[in-house]
Structure 1
Amino acid sequence: MRFAKKVSYPAILAIPLVGGAVAASWSSAHFTQSFGGVSSEAPGTLAPGTLDGGLSGADPAAEAFSVVPASGPAAAASQPEQVAALPRASLLRLPAQGEIEALEEAEAPPPPVTRQITVARGDTLMKLLIGAGVDPTHAHQAVTAMEPVYSARRLMPGQEIDLAFAARGAASDDSASDDLGPLLAINFRPSRERDIEISRAHPDEDFAANAVDRPVARQLAYAQGTILSNLSVAAREVNVPNPVLVEAIRAFSFDVDFQREIQKGDDFEFLYEIFVDEDGLRVRTGELLFAAMTLSGSRTEIYHYERPNGDTDYFTPEGTSVRRSLMRTPIDGARLSSGFGMRKHPILGYSKMHKGTDFAAPRGTPIYAAGNGVVEVAARRGGYGKYIRIRHGSSYKTAYAHLHGYAKGIKSGTRVKQGQVIGYVGSTGRSTGPHLHYEVILNGKQVNPLKVTLPRGDKLKKDELAAFAAHRAEVDRQVSIAMGGILMVQKACEEAEVVEQGSATDREC
């Protein structure tokens, strides 16, 4: 008689002999075992068996087998009966490695099912997740877990989001017919510098959110150009990023009237930082390290420098800050539309003293505080419309008129810093179009903002000049290398050594 039992391997084989009984224990991967009939050998010995494949049973963890006692009444009574006998251990054939791997692969759970969704205008993350088949409770749990790392309100139209679901069944060729299980993960890249991951290993676990910073490399980029119409157009032609251009205009605005002093044929040079990802794509810009402008044959150079106390500013080669107490043009990219002095008023129709400078710009263009000070007035004021006046020390005040609106937090008594946004260009009050009317008031009297002599900023102390001179020499060296057409690369390491392009990729931080 033959019969089969199915058990699991690796086997833990235990054959303790207690009172004439033999026990065996088995576990793990499956195989089949066949046994022969009653042994013809002497009572009390194990009958030989042949292993075909594996024992199988409802509980393969433990099986007990009896043998015929060597003598006594029990032996006589059991001789005619057919009994099960264990095969000799030496005859066990274990499954081959390939069989084990095939069985394990067959038992492996199906891979997660993935989906990709795209944010459209007006979408919320909850709405998108539920629309993609996520259980509302799981969607809420995932969004709540994400909030400390990244706010769902910051998602922008066009953002792609990858989802992973546990699969209840094997995926078919038609992905729409996949049987989606619970949500396992959400992944997206809000910027080239960062990935957001919300995941859990098992549907019964809580979601965990992580922001993963992607590696970026620091590069020094150099741009040189000739102005044919204006600085903005010339800078764009040599691919100067807009933040770098704005920083250069602000740094030079203390000395240069960009509306009147820029002439055709003037030159500029910029050395600035950019940060790129592993694909070489620019992630963001850094500091403007050096800038030079040659206006009507006169060259002006400025260097970005961090002082020992942590303050940063732009300095001349002699170590004097370019920053003055007040900015002559507290707005970027505007056109001078009307100067200081007598003129025919465009609305009243008669000649009238124009006690400020007008800068034409699109509605909503930011307006900056011309210097550090305290807001005296932030309210409507007759023909000025929406109006701001700032007090700078005991002698100077500045005024800004025809605003479209005020920046957040700007009101009477607010302390502001030079360059801080205080309002936005508009056309309120007695105005024919959007522009900024800007006034400088010296000892209670309006003066020409473009001609008034303004005090210089700080000068580096004697004990700072040596360090600044070394810094300036290094920047000059970098400019000299860059003028040769080499894009200098620095790895984001502690040792910030300037190297030629390409060689940094072989160095590890």
Structure 2
Amino acid sequence: MQEFDPRRPTFRLTPALAIGLAGVAALAVGWKLSAGQAAIPAPKPSLDPAAISALQHAAFIQSEAQPGFARPQSVPLKVRPGETLESAVQRAGVPRDEARKAVETLAAAMDTVHIKAGMAFDAAIAKPRGERGQARLIGLSLRTGPANSITLSRTFDGAMRLREMEEKIRDEQMVAHGQISGSLYESAARMGANPGVVSGMVKLFSHKVDFDRDLKAGDAFTMVFDRKVTESGRTIETGALEYAAIKGVQFYRFERANGDVQYFDENGKNIKGFLLRTPVDNARMTSRFGMRRHPILGYNRMHQGIDFGAGSGTPVFAAGDGVVVEARRWGGYGNWVRIRHSGGFETGYAHLSRFAKGLRKGQRVSQGQVVAYVGTTGASTGPHLHYEIWQKGRRVNPVGAKVPQGTVLAGSELAAFRAQKARIDALVREQAGGAQTTELAAADTVTRR
């Protein structure tokens, strides 16, 4: 039997390395898998945010290097156009055989052939000491769904092990406070609201706020909206906008007795005005109503509407409920749409690039419905929307035009609305906390119970 020599060190895999390997398995860089996936027999442990953080820290900060290799490092990668997953893994600096084996192992859990360019994943790579030779693949991590990820990690015997992990998802009602930086649309999106919620918010405010004149950088706003969030704090879905406030204008979401969902101000008055003040999202007024020097004709001429600067193809919304009376080419107005509303009001939209699919004379449209798209047809120097309001056959200034207001809640509906408003107000006061922020990470959240 060979004698033990205390001068000769023994080879041991330290506990720190074991923790490091476990950390690699916990990595998850967001991406959306487009192809089908095979079932993975491995268990699906729930991820704990603190555990994720600890394991990642152990993997890339505290772990001891494998013999001849430095500590593993995380390398974010994306599949390039025309590139295979194997080639993308190779770009991390690992040998071709190692990349091939890793992809073959992943094939048991996903389609590794039919992948799209841009697919993101994270590779844990250990580089050789002295930067000589090829790196070694320690693990791979990629997200297969909103709360699911698969990881490939090297075990003690050098083999690759496949795991699937699933985070729990909870419903929350989020209170977010921010300040306008850029457009309201961009600022709200940075708060974590998805495009649908932001678009709805902009449309609602367009009844009461002139985005060109009324808003400026630094103006504070508040939103309360539903969302689905993972244990690690990542928003995977945004739901209904429950409340929003800006420049002293507030609106609350409320479901009426007949099942209709509408938005009301603090007094229970429907915030939905008769006509939108801004029938196009994220646009600024570039020309006002009145006499001006015509940019093409070169002489002073009455400008009988207002212009909104917006990119070609930007959706144009019906300013109110009504019937399309014209959808045609009309001289210098180019492609033109005119809608008749109740009470002797009409609205007109000019220089359109095209009409909405199926739009025709006699069609009934609802407020906020897309009827056309911004363009530069007719006598136009660039993409913009020319917007007009007609009252009893006479053009009036859309800015400040006196149009009918919305309905007001009463009786039991008003009582129910006030109770819901009190809950939202208390939530906003509780979560405001004084300082406002535009960062989602610093926004307050309340878990729905």
Does the pair score TM above 0.5? yes
Q: Give the distance between the partners of 1:119 and 1:317, measured in 2 at CA.
A: 44
Q: Is the 8 A contact 1:266 1:293 kept in 2?
A: yes
1:118-165 alpha-carbon deviations (Å, 9 max, x no partner): 999xxxx99xxxxxxxxxxxxxxxxxxxxxxxxxxxxxx99x99xxxx
* Alignment match of 1:462 (pick from 383, 386, 411): 411
Equivalent residue, structure 1, for 2:254: 305
Q: Is the 8 A contact 1:356 1:448 kept in 2?
A: yes
Q: RMSD of the TM alignment (CA)?
A: 3.8
Equivalences for residues 282-301 of structure 1 within 5 A: 282-294=235-247, 299-301=248-250
* Alignment match of 1:250 (pick from 203, 207, 220): 203
Equivalent residue, structure 2, for 1:326: 275
Q: TM-score, normalised by structure 2?
A: 0.61
Equivalences for residues 149-164 of structure 1 within 5 A: none
Q: Give the distance between the partners of 2:218 and 2:266, measured in 1 at CA.
A: 24
The residue type equivalent to 1:466 in the other structure is: A
Equivalent residue, structure 1, for 2:54: none
Equivalent residue, structure 2, for 1:360: 309
1:1-52 alpha-carbon deviations (Å, 9 max, x no partner): xxxxxxxxxxxxxxxxxxxxxxxxxxxxxxxxxxxxxxxxxxxxxxxxxxxx
Equivalent residue, structure 1, for 2:265: 316
Equivalences for residues 115-264 of structure 1 within 5 A: 192=146, 216-227=169-180, 230-232=183-185, 234-235=187-188, 238-264=191-217
Q: Give the distance between the partners of 1:191 and 1:119, measured in 2 at CA.
A: 7
* Alignment match of 1:369 (pick from 318, 323, 331): 318
SS in structure 2 opposite 1:487?
Answer: strand
Equivalent residue, structure 1, for 2:138: none
The residue type equivalent to 2:212 in the other structure is: Q
Equivalent residue, structure 2, for 1:423: 372
CA-CA distance at 1:300 after TM superposition = 2.3
CA-CA distance at 1:284 after TM superposition = 2.0
CA-CA distance at 1:227 after TM superposition = 3.6
**Count of equivalent residues:** 309
CA-CA distance at 1:361 after TM superposition = 0.4
CA-CA distance at 1:351 after TM superposition = 0.9
The residue type equivalent to 2:287 in the other structure is: S
**Per the alignment, do residues 190 and 371 of structure 1 end up closer, same or farther by CA in structure 2, a change over 3 Å counting?**
farther
Equivalences for residues 74-85 of structure 1 within 5 A: none
1:383-415 alpha-carbon deviations (Å, 9 max, x no partner): 111111111125011111100111111111211
**Per the alignment, do residues 340 and 301 of structure 1 end up closer, same or farther by CA in structure 2, a change over 3 Å counting?**
same
The residue type equivalent to 1:226 in the other structure is: Q
The residue type equivalent to 1:231 in the other structure is: L
**Per the alignment, do residues 190 and 414 of structure 1 end up closer, same or farther by CA in structure 2, a change over 3 Å counting?**
farther
Q: TM-score, normalised by structure 1?
A: 0.54
CA-CA distance at 1:217 after TM superposition = 2.5
The residue type equivalent to 1:422 in the other structure is: V
Q: Rg: which structure is higher?
A: 1
2:345 matches 1:387: no
**Which has the bigger relative contact order, CA under 8 A and spacing at least 6?**
2
Q: Give the distance between the partners of 2:331 and 2:183, measured in 1 at CA.
A: 35
> Any gaps of 5 or more consecutive residues in structure 1?
1-117, 127-156, 162-171, 196-213, 491-496, 498-509
Q: Give the distance between the partners of 1:327 and 1:477, measured in 2 at CA.
A: 30
Equivalent residue, structure 1, for 2:424: 475
The residue type equivalent to 1:266 in the other structure is: D
Equivalent residue, structure 2, for 1:43: none
Equivalent residue, structure 1, for 2:44: none
Q: Give the distance between the partners of 1:488 and 1:401, measured in 2 at CA.
A: 45
CA-CA distance at 1:232 after TM superposition = 4.0
Equivalent residue, structure 1, for 2:228: 275
CA-CA distance at 1:365 after TM superposition = 0.5
CA-CA distance at 1:237 after TM superposition = 5.6
Q: Give the distance between the partners of 1:412 and 1:285, measured in 2 at CA.
A: 37
Q: Is the 8 A contact 1:223 1:240 kept in 2?
A: no
CA-CA distance at 1:174 after TM superposition = 10
Q: Is the 8 A contact 2:183 2:282 kept in 1?
A: no
Q: Is the 8 A contact 1:304 1:315 kept in 2?
A: yes
* Alignment match of 1:344 (pick from 293, 313, 325): 293
Equivalent residue, structure 1, for 2:446: 488
CA-CA distance at 1:416 after TM superposition = 0.8
CA-CA distance at 1:483 after TM superposition = 1.6
Q: Give the distance between the partners of 1:445 and 1:457, measured in 2 at CA.
A: 23
Equivalences for residues 402-417 of structure 1 within 5 A: 402-417=351-366
Equivalent residue, structure 2, for 1:13: none
Q: Is the 8 A contact 1:321 1:457 kept in 2?
A: yes
**Per the alignment, do residues 232 and 486 of structure 1 end up closer, same or farther by CA in structure 2, a change over 3 Å counting?**
closer
The residue type equivalent to 1:319 in the other structure is: G
Identity %: 41
Equivalences for residues 36-51 of structure 1 within 5 A: none
Q: Is the 8 A contact 2:185 2:199 kept in 1?
A: no
SS in structure 1 opposite 2:202?
Answer: helix
Q: Is the 8 A contact 1:325 1:456 kept in 2?
A: yes
Q: Give the distance between the partners of 1:305 and 1:215, measured in 2 at CA.
A: 29
> Any gaps of 5 or more consecutive residues in structure 2?
1-31, 37-80, 86-96, 116-142, 150-166, 434-442
Q: Is the 8 A contact 2:228 2:238 kept in 1?
A: yes
